[in-house]
Structure 1
């Protein structure tokens, strides 16, 4: 016997056919909260006019890569209007970040994992450990996709319905912990990381209308999902503009000995005492130079709500801005010819958003913070060679294509 699903819960198997559960009593406040949430989500559905997306298992070629879409699915599915999907990527060595991220996000996550050669088996073991040995939210909310080059296949790929036969031995050290890069297949074969292939896989498979395409090491401020959807439901002010729009989040780093702040008030204190800094301040400050950033740091409104703080554009002195934002499926995808090692991997999307006259609606209380540890520039000879090749051979071709496909506009450039 199964209970009927509600909008926010999965069905549960009754432990006994004869077992009678005591009725759950709700207070007036509980009922009011449920009614308020239902009203918000109904308005979001009407405003977005979105459609629900099925989750399908499929194995397909994508350029030079085989992709196992929805290979390990989350138990919980979602209607298009009821939440936001965080889409992200990495290889199995980054999976120690997943549970802390999930606890902060408290919503669906779609993650694409790069697993060439024997990295595939370690990737499967890592997923099994996360699902069997860590927080139950992993099973409920995280969908894993796996991809690898056609020239670097695993020895064997189990069918999606036969991936995990046994419960993982949780007494073992997690496969993703303390891994040397020299141990990895991709390192031994000197493969580059096709970051935009991963970003697009994770994004295209998201069930929801709204998507936060982010990095797995970036932690969101708390309660972002309900606050954002309430703002969308209000549907006023700059949200009524007819221009296409995305919602960038200001990015920060904190010292290695400090906790990631949950709210803006805590973040502002850390910025003032120097324990937090703007993201990549010591690596590429222009890449994250944000319109009205100083004013944003000096403003603190009701932290239980979200509003549009400023409407910016990715042009002029902000032509190098690499925002991470909440958007929708209509936002242009990333160019899959660009790799992480070659840098400039977000520039083509940024150019398209500029030419298409997207509004960048910067939010007042939402932000992202990298896991503790301030990044500094480190010279990488191999990466510099790849960057030089990308800048001299790949980007000139892409620039010409972008102008043909999207046109040109004063202030919009691809560096």
Structure 2
């Protein structure tokens, strides 16, 4: 009996211990739950505080906060060290004013793009940079008594956008008047620093009618070619700043020049790239630009696009034979489809070897500026061939009412100069039967 009582007592004791242990575990569970709730609550509060703090910083952020500080004095020192005047003495030239270099992919240094522009159209070069994966050599023209302001703007703009270019060489040409009145003493002044905000950088046009020096288009073209790098460049495409390459033009041309064919053919042939005008309404409505020849022809059939200078000077592009180009069956391979016999006033845009005759600098904003160079290349022994499936474009139709705004020098002056130019060619190329 006593033995049974002992066993019963032990059982009760074990039961009490088990009950106490369970009660303690429930308390521990409750404490653990409370602890978890506190931790989660603190995390949520931290997240809320972080979001609120970030929002305050975002709304308080100053959009005018500078991206960098620009010291302008080195640019004027560069002008003084590198400046030279052209043969007329009317223009100051600074070769390689600003240079930006980066690594190029294979064959990307085979072709270079040459451009020229006035300061107010400098921003258009971004359209070229988006599609041209090779070197770009650009000549910038500045004139007027506020030329230093324009150079400061150009320096800031280039610094803000240089990463968009693979290889960019900027050359500066300014009127002698601008140099004397605005630039000549700038390198002696104290350093001027601009707090540059790239997002808010805008060009301010400084109209100056006292400097009537004409836009030296052919001089600018020659300076761009002279400053083309790297040395491996073999072929050059020279464009006006408002003529843009198609999105796939660069890679089509690389493919064309690297295919198996004779180098001699490339060295004596200038390959014409048809140029078009896209209606301004198409641009205003943000319609997509044509990405290939098929899409271009669709716009053409819808009267949203036309050959370059169709309303201004149809004969200037007549030998390109746009209708034949349009009807030629599309093929992925880039080939020349016909070879026109040159006659003026044809002035095509073409890509050719970098040693073709230079542009005659006597032609400035003359109607014959490009015609003269096309004429001389023909007399020099070069032939023209029109390529299929590649094209250039301009935004907006040109019409005769816009001619005064193109700053063309009086037609009579242009004709007289061109007559003199042809006489000079006959004296220079005495062993050719070619004429233009």
TM-score (norm. length: structure 1): 0.73
Partner of 1:152, secondary structure, is: helix
- Describe the superposition over 1:206-227 as per-residue Cα deviations: whole angstroms up to 9, x where unpaired: 1222111001111111232232
- Following superposition, the deviation at residue 136 of structure 1 comes to 2.3
In structure 2, what is the equivalent of residue 44 of structure 1? Answer: none
- Unpaired runs of at least 5, structure 1: 1-56
- Following superposition, the deviation at residue 330 of structure 1 comes to 1.2
Indicate which of 273, 291, 307 corresponds to 1:262: 291
Aligned partners of 2:127, 2:421: CA distance in 1, in Å? 37
Counterpart check, 1:395 vs 2:425 = no
> How many residues are paired up?
340
- Decide whether the 8 Å contact of 1:60 with 1:68 is kept in 2: yes
- Following superposition, the deviation at residue 368 of structure 1 comes to 0.4
Counterpart check, 1:369 vs 2:398 = no
- Decide whether the 8 Å contact of 1:132 with 1:167 is kept in 2: no
Aligned partners of 2:267, 2:258: CA distance in 1, in Å? 18
- Decide whether the 8 Å contact of 1:101 with 1:217 is kept in 2: no
- Describe the superposition over 1:77-135 as per-residue Cα deviations: whole angstroms up to 9, x where unpaired: 76997332111111111113111221122332111111124453243233334334447
Counterpart check, 1:335 vs 2:357 = no
Indicate which of 221, 224, 229 corresponds to 2:254: 229
CA change 1:411–1:95 in 2 (3 A) is same
Counterpart check, 1:273 vs 2:302 = yes
Partner of 2:196, secondary structure, is: coil
- Following superposition, the deviation at residue 75 of structure 1 comes to 2.4
CA change 1:384–1:266 in 2 (3 A) is closer
In structure 2, what is the equivalent of residue 109 of structure 1? Answer: 136
- Following superposition, the deviation at residue 385 of structure 1 comes to 6.8
Aligned partners of 2:234, 2:419: CA distance in 1, in Å? 33
CA change 1:168–1:141 in 2 (3 A) is farther
- Decide whether the 8 Å contact of 2:367 with 2:408 is kept in 1: no
Partner of 2:316, secondary structure, is: helix
Aligned partners of 2:245, 2:298: CA distance in 1, in Å? 17
What are the residue-to-residue correspondences of 1:298-337 with 2, within 5 Å?
A: 298-303=327-332, 305-315=333-343, 319-337=344-362
- Describe the superposition over 1:6-29 as per-residue Cα deviations: whole angstroms up to 9, x where unpaired: xxxxxxxxxxxxxxxxxxxxxxxx
- Decide whether the 8 Å contact of 1:252 with 1:278 is kept in 2: yes
- Unpaired runs of at least 5, structure 2: 1-80, 283-287
Aligned partners of 1:127, 1:384: CA distance in 2, in Å? 25
Which is helix-richer, 1 or 2?
A: 2
What are the residue-to-residue correspondences of 1:36-51 with 2, within 5 Å?
A: none
Q: Give RMSD over aligned pairs.
A: 3.0
- Decide whether the 8 Å contact of 2:117 with 2:139 is kept in 1: yes
Partner of 2:94, secondary structure, is: strand
TM-score (norm. length: structure 2): 0.70
